[in-house]
Structure 1
Amino acid sequence: MGLIISYLKKRKDDVVTRATDHDWSNLHQDLIICFAEQIVSMKDFYAFRGVSKSWRSAAIKENSNREFRLQHKVPVLVLPKNYSAPIRNFYSLTKGEIYQLDLPETRGKRCFSSLGWLLTVSLDDSRLHLFNPLNHALIELPRLRSKTLICRNITKFVLSSSPSWTSNYEVMVQSNCFLVFYRPGYNNDKWTRIILPGAVKIFIDTIYYKGRFYVVDYKGGVFVCDMGDPKNARMRLIASELPKELFGLIHFKLPYLVESATGALLLVVCSFGYDDYESTLGCRVFEVSFGNGNSWSRESEVKNLGNRTLFLSANSSSFSIEALDDSICKPNCIYFLNRCHVSTRGDIDIGIYYMEDGKIERDLEKLPDFQYKGTSLTSHLWIQPSF
């Protein structure tokens, strides 16, 4: 409350001067919203909204410029738990501590994250929901009824915008070999399957970028999705696969798509070696060049991210934030959550890659319950707090 006290000392209007230690819940709504704008962690959000109904309302109204503030929100790391447990462990990067949330809506379901929302996938009846872990908002999505689009195969989902902000949102669900699209009111409120070009691709990542969905396959080929006609929704190649000579002798690559601070589309490639094919060896960043279909060269490589921090994940939307001076996140770094190629030691390889010198820090692996040995339907996730 130190921020509130200092703020009150500066305000001389009647509303503020009447406030005492006993009537915080009755502060003017505009003032409460000013305080709400300072929230940077999910734990603080829960404490803030618990003061009163007016404070809870302010915690939601403060999102008048949500998309801008989301660029500065440090994500939390969701740790795996038993699939039947309603309690989820969240690790706060800003606080450096683990806390628990009671989320019965996720019990017995696989979860994926995008823009602060979870896609919950029920394996027994193919039900899909969008779920906000902060306010427990729940949106039912159409079922995936096709035998080839079974829920068990889902690897990622991406939102165009948060349902907290607008009803005009779009959802893309990705599997290794299929993509399906949903928009409320589009195609009779049914999922639209994207027609794949040529041979079946193995998709790794999807991003919503400048009004369209883009997808990258395991070879680094980048595709854009055209969905003007729901009966003929398809993909087309905009950047060919990565040349092997750019990487030399590596065992395999995991490519991700992220938007840069300047608005460019970046391809981030995590590499694994032949001798150690379970650990990420390094990351390289390339700018996607549109229109020539053969964009990859050493000249397109990005060596410095400036004050940006990238977050990559096998189960979450990839994104970047601005590392402010007082931020716990390290600038010019990449936080990765890679699914191991051969998971003999665990499912996820986590670390922080420093662009400046190529160093990899792995302190996050030491978190309690990080290498969960039980039965878990949901692996580790980055979640951007969407208040």
Structure 2
Amino acid sequence: MSESCLLLPPTMNQSTVWCWSNLPNELLDLISQNLTNYVDYVRLRAVCPTWRSNLPKKPNHLVTQLPWLLLPHYDNNTICETHCSFFNLADNKTYRLELPEVLGDGMICWGSPHGWLVIMKQEGPLLSLLNPLTREEIQLPSLFFFPETSLREDLAGVVIPWDSIGYLGKSKIVKALLFGNPCESDYVVIVIMTGGPCSLAFFQVGAVAWTLFMDTYKMCFLDVVFFKGQFYAVDYAAHVYICHLGASPTVVKVADPAETYVDAEPETKYLVESVNELLLVYRYEVHNWATISDSTYYFTVHKLQLSESRWSLVDDLKEQVLFLGRNCSFSLSAGSYPCCRGNSVYYTDEHRDPIDIPSLFKVSCNCLRGYDLGVFSLYDGDVERPPSYPLPSPCSIKCIVPPPVWVTLAP
């Protein structure tokens, strides 16, 4: 039979075969409306071709889904070269997907809550957007080329090689952030760089090249967030700036650092939009010299009083959950997800040395990368590393490449 069918138990000495494709559309819609997990919805559409055509590819009724944890797939502590693992917080299960695009030496990726990854091949550097479900890829212009409008007046509007100017070739991309779903709306990609003529650059859909924030020379940024129609950035010293995009983009400082925790200095800072508030999050880590790795032990959260340009300490996020790491920082309400803990921070390893990742495979050492991830509770200050995360044994694999990232899946 061409359609999936169900053989019902014999009744009155005869068997009845019911084809799933004959199910009334009203009943099919009712079933789909009662699903809350995107995985279950995908399974429902896969029952038969008729259901797949009658149900929309993207379910409109589902609330924003919990992010999945993307990391390499391991078989007997050996890295798979073609597949990645996706840990689903909603059902505490791990799924394997073919995704060779993010694997291999020199590949780096960053997550987002918009259904797409930002991936980069260090040679180039070449950046693209990748949907891990459909494997659709959008190639972005090379970061080796910019419209040269700031360094020389006589070259205005001319595209020249980045490495033809010595110090431009020294730039290193440390974070790439996607704002917006490329399938649904306009989107912006912002990269944070070090070592070059600027610390920020952006690409907007429809443009032919990247645009540099030339006034960020010698600045060191850690995170960028979109909040109430504006982009905000935080630097290493925890100063916060508004980023004005345009032909000649600029940054303007709007807030000084928040107070630190006791006498410790936070290693990493994040900006997060949560319930129409702008939050500054400090991440405190202790360094292990034996493994040359960091271990997170505390977070503090601060809310910006924008009218007064000052911060107030937040000791209770209520039902809100923050997702931090190598991704666009974002928050969700745990009220819709019984499996998720409110008033918590879900974090992943920052993996701060992407350029050195390939060499870690070749050098026999005790360095560990990628294992600093877990859940921090603002209620009692405890850090838990969930045992269900599908991590390899540190004894067998020292460096998790690509490092774990949060990504919300969407067709």
TM > 0.5: yes
Q: In 2, are the aligned partners of 1:207 and 1:214 still within 8 Å (CA)?
A: yes
Q: Aligned to 1:333, which of 341, 344, 347?
A: 344
Q: Distance in 2 between matches of 1:216 and 1:309?
A: 20
2:304 aligns with 288
Aligned mates of 1:142, 1:213 — CA distance in 2: 22
Q: Is the 8 A contact 1:238 1:291 kept in 2?
A: no
Kept after mapping to 2: 8 A contact 1:304/1:356: yes
| Contact 2:368-2:398 within 8 A present in 1 as well | no
* Equivalent in the alignment of 1:154: 173
1:335-370 C-alpha deviation (Å, 9 max, x unpaired): 111436799433341121111111111224863327
| 81, 97, 107: which one aligns with 1:85 | 81
| 2:213 alignment partner, one of 181, 187, 194 | 194
Give yes or no for contact 1:50–1:56 (8 Å, CA) kept in 2: yes
Are 1:272 and 2:264 an aligned pair? no
Matches within 5 A, 1:208-223: 208-223=226-241
Distance (whole Å) between structure 2 residues aligned to residue 257 and residue 357 of structure 1: 22
Considering fraction of residues, name the structure with more helix: 1
Q: Quick one: which amino acid aligns to residue 102 of structure 1?
A: E
Give the % identical residues: 27
CA RMSD of the aligned region, Å?
Answer: 3.3
**Matches of 2:335 and 2:176 in 1, distance apart?**
28
1:308 corresponds in structure 2 to 320
| Cα displacement (A) at 1:329 | 0.6
Say which SS state the counterpart of residue 47 (structure 1) adopts.
helix
Q: What is the CA deviation profile of residues 249-306 of structure 1, one whole-angstrom value per residue up to 9, with x for unaligned ones?
A: 2254311111112x0111111112578982212111111232545x13xxx1111111
Cα separation, 2, equivalents of 1:126 and 1:36: 44
State which drifts further: 232-241 or 274-283: 274-283
Name the residue aligned to 2:397.
373
Partner of 1:23: 20
Matches within 5 A, 1:1-387: 21-24=18-21, 27-28=24-25, 31-32=28-29, 35=32, 38-41=35-38, 43-53=39-49, 55-56=51-52, 58-63=55-60, 69-70=63-64, 73-80=65-72, 85-108=81-104, 109-114=107-112, 115-145=114-144, 146-147=162-163, 153-166=172-185, 168-176=186-194, 178-186=199-207, 189-197=208-216, 200-228=218-246, 230=247, 232-243=248-259, 246-261=260-275, 263-273=276-286, 278-293=294-309, 295-296=310-311, 300-313=312-325, 315-324=326-335, 326-339=337-350, 344-364=367-387, 367-369=390-392, 371=394, 373=397, 377-387=401-411
Cα deviation, residue 119, structure 1: 1.1
Q: 1:208 to 1:49 in 2, by over 3 A?
A: farther
Greater shift, 129-138 or 148-157, is seen at 148-157
Pair 153,29 (structure 1): closer, same or farther in 2 beyond 3 Å: farther
> How many angstroms does 1:376 deviate by?
5.7
Rg comparison, structure with higher value: 2
8 Å contact kept, 1:279–1:340? no
Q: Does the 8 Å contact 2:272/2:331 carry over to 1?
A: yes
Aligned counterpart, 2:14: none
- Tell me, in whole angstroms, the C-alpha distance in 2 between the residues paired with 1:83 and 1:174: 29
The 1:350/1:316 distance shift into structure 2, 3 A limit, reads: same
Runs of 5+ unmatched residues, structure 1: 1-19
What is the alpha-carbon distance in structure 2 between the residues aligned to residue 153 and residue 54 of structure 1? 50
Which runs of 5 or more structure 2 residues have no equivalent in the other structure?
1-16, 145-161, 354-365
Amino acid at match of 1:143: S
Q: Distance in 1 between matches of 2:398 and 2:284?
A: 28
- Tell me the distance in 1 between the aligned counterparts of 2:168 and 2:377: 38
